[in-house]
Each structure stands twice: as structure tokens, then as C-alpha cells.
Structure 1
């Protein structure tokens, strides 16, 4: 992936102490995390709501979204930060801030 991607974002939630994410973490609906189809777990991205200009920084810890045309799926807490709860799906820009480097093999 380039360092910038544009497309649609959706959001999801889970119960407190809910199921585990694809990375193995317990899902936290108030967190600042997101699902992305292929960025490495732990990658930090800035998501900008292109309708209102608000931004949130999130850590990738899950996989998805699994709907054509959507590029990222924010957990509820992150979606609230960029005011997309009521609309459900918004156009966004996703900028990679920090990528995770795999451990070196010695």
C-alpha cells in the first residue's frame, strides 16, 4: 500500500470484554483501533473524514472491512472521534504514520 489511500470507511462495535480481534487482542469498543485488509498489525494510521475534516489516529489490530469499496473499518470509539456514527459510512483519507517492522532474524 502507498502511504496514502482514499475511499470509504465504516465502523463496528463489540461488547466490552468482547471477542478477540484478528490480532488476538480483546476487542475494546472505546479504543482507537481499526480493521484494515492488509496493513500489518500495529501500524498507526491517521484517518481523515473528508466530509468534515476531522481526524483520528488509530492502530490496526483487526482485519476487514469485507465490503467492496471500503478501505478501513473503525472501532466505535475512533468513529466517534471523526463524527461518523450517524452516517455509518464516510469518505476518508488514510495516511500511514508509522509501520511495524518485523523482528530481525539473527
Structure 2
């Protein structure tokens, strides 16, 4: 996982509009105590910074989103799924994997529900990194960055780890102004599409 996180950080340092352009401030220290946690629930370190994944049922934050694409296309994500730059998905530093979030582009009002199945971004305090297709649907792929609101919806349904399936998540109805709450069931807009191996 650390090697995958290091690869993510290296790609995020690539000078392209959709990637980050500088590394985070380094903070050294002991790993946080998290007995019994496994896989993507365990604390991990990137660039000297510790990240502590945890349940965040009321997560509702605003910040800057970036996007990633070609460098990770058809490679495994942090939770073992396959990243497809042409399907909506996302990376987040600490939300549970996989989960569903609603992302609103505050610059143009567009909204999209995406599956979070990867870790990142690790630069400039950005709060989410979307796939190229998700950024395109939210209208900021040419711009590279957008001001967004990210609202946690709940856990995403599991995908068969032996398959090459990709989650395609449709656009939800406009959200109410009520306080966010996790869903007992994932949104009904989920459609799973099969993709043949590229080799």
C-alpha cells in the first residue's frame, strides 16, 4: 500500500493542469495507534504525513478538487478495484473504501455521485481527486481544478474482486438543505458495467 501511495504522490507532482504541482509540508512522527485495523482502514503515511481513515457519516466539506487519468488507467486502486479514467470515481485521503459521495461543483452547480475507491490527493490540502470522466461531467476537466462540496452518502456496494467491473454512478436529484445523513442503502442510480480485459 505504501508503494502505491508513493506512486500516487509521484504522479500528483507531475506538472499538468489536472495534477498537483507541489508536495505537502512534511510532518514526521510516530504512526497513530490503531490496533486491529487492516487494509484500507489502517493509518498510512505519504510524504511524511500520517493519514487516519475512519468512519465519517456526517462528512460534508468544501474545498478544491483535482483530477487524475492516464497515469493510473487500468491500474489497481487502493482497495483493489481497477481504475478507469473514463468512468466516474474518486480518491480521498480518509473516507472508508469503497464509499459513495455526492460531489457538487460550486463554480457551476453541477452534481455527481461517485464511488470513492482510491487514496489521494496528497497535495495543497485538496479534498478529493476525481477521475477524468467525473471531472468532465462536473465541467472542470479543461480547467484542472474546481471548488467543490463533498458529501458522504454511505458505503458503496462491494464489487467482485475477481472481475474487471467498474461502477458507473448516475447524477442524483438535487440535494435538500437538510443536514446530511448516511444512507442505509446505496442510491438506486448505480449501474455496474463489465469491461473485457485489455489484454
TM-score where L is the length of structure 1: 0.86
What's the offset of the Cα at 1:54? 0.2
**CA distances 1:17-45 after superposition (whole Å, capped 9, x unpaired):** 62111111111111121000011112100
Moved over 6 A (4+): none
Is 1:43 aligned with 2:117?
Answer: no
- 1:23 corresponds in structure 2 to 79
SS of structure 2 residue aligned to 1:77? helix
Structure (1 or 2) with the larger CA radius of gyration: 2
In 2, the alpha carbon distance for the partners of 1:71 and 1:17 equals 21
Q: Which runs of 5+ in 2 are unaligned?
A: 1-55, 157-199
Structure number with higher helix proportion: 2
d(CA) in 1 for partners of 2:73, 2:140: 23
Alignment pair present for 1:91 and 2:91 = no
1:40–1:99 CA contact under 8 A, matched in 2: yes
Q: Which is further off, 9-18 or 39-48? A: 9-18
Structural mapping, 1:5-24, within 5 Å: 5-14=61-70, 18-24=74-80
Higher relative contact order (CA closer than 8 Å, sequence separation 6+): 1
Aligned length: 100
The residue number in structure 2 matching 1:57 is: 113
SS in 2 for 1:70: coil
- Structure 1, unaligned stretches of length 5 or more? 101-106
- Write 1 or 2 for the structure with the bigger share of strand: 1
Are residues 1:76 and 2:132 paired?
A: yes
CA distances 1:25-80 after superposition (whole Å, capped 9, x unpaired): 11111112100001111210000000000011101100000102200000011111
Using the size of structure 2 for normalisation, the TM-score is 0.47
Secondary structure of the residue aligned to 2:146 is: strand
